[in-house]
């Protein structure tokens, strides 16, 4: 009992500093969590970049010029040209995404990474995991 009383007295005396201590610990914990989040996000970006590079390399195969003197018939030649333009469009989109991912990778250690460029709110973690190249939150992006 004496020990409990002593602890309570001690606690009351140091009430303000106890609160400050708890807050500091919480901030420390927060930044550790953010560090972990950042690390897994970095890994995710690297995976997406590797995948994107592979896909672009594959698409490149399908965007080679269709030679007029090949043995394809007229219809298959038109098909080939059509497929080529589909592949080219897809490659353009993937190249843009790859560039954005590379930019995100260079910014990931910045303090303001994951902060919406328009409203300054934090971009949702799930959104960043799904699209790490996002620079806007869901609300601003859909506006």
Torsion of CA 85, 87, 89, 91, to 10 degrees: -140
Q: Residue with structure tokens 């950042």?
A: 38
What is the closest distance, in whole angstroms, from the C-beta atom of residue 55 to Zn ion in the complex?
29
Candidate ranges 32-40, 55-63, 84-92, 110-118; the one touching Zn ion (CB under 5 A): 110-118
What is the closest distance, in whole angstroms, from the C-beta atom of residue 118 to Zn ion in the complex?
5
The reply to whether 128 sits near Zn ion by the rule CB under 5 A is no
Q: Which is nearer to Zn ion, 56 or 141 (CB)?
A: 141
User: 94 with 118: CB under 8 angstroms?
Assistant: no
Cα separation, 105 vs 50, whole angstroms: 13
What is the closest distance, in whole angstroms, from the C-beta atom of residue 49 to Zn ion in the complex?
25
Q: Residue with structure tokens 């040209």?
A: 81
Q: Which residues bind Zn ion (CB under 5 A)?
A: 116, 118-119, 137, 140
């Amino acid at each position: 009992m004496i020990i409990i009383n002593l602890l309570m007295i001690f606690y009351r005396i140091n009430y303000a500093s106890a609160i400050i201590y708890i807050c500091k610990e919480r901030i420390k914990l927060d930044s550790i969590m953010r560090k972990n989040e950042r690390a897994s996000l970095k890994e995710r970006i690297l995976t997406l970049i590797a995948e994107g590079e592979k896909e672009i390399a594959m698409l490149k195969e399908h965007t080679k010029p269709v030679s007029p003197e090949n043995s394809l018939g007229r219809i298959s030649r038109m098909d080939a040209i059509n497929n080529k333009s589909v592949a080219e469009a897809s490659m353009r989109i993937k190249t843009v995404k790859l560039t954005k991912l590379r930019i995100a990778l260079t910014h990931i250690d910045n303090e303001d990474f994951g902060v919406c460029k328009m409203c300054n709110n934090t971009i949702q973690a799930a959104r960043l995991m799904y699209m790490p190249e996002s620079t806007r939150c869901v609300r601003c992006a859909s506006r």
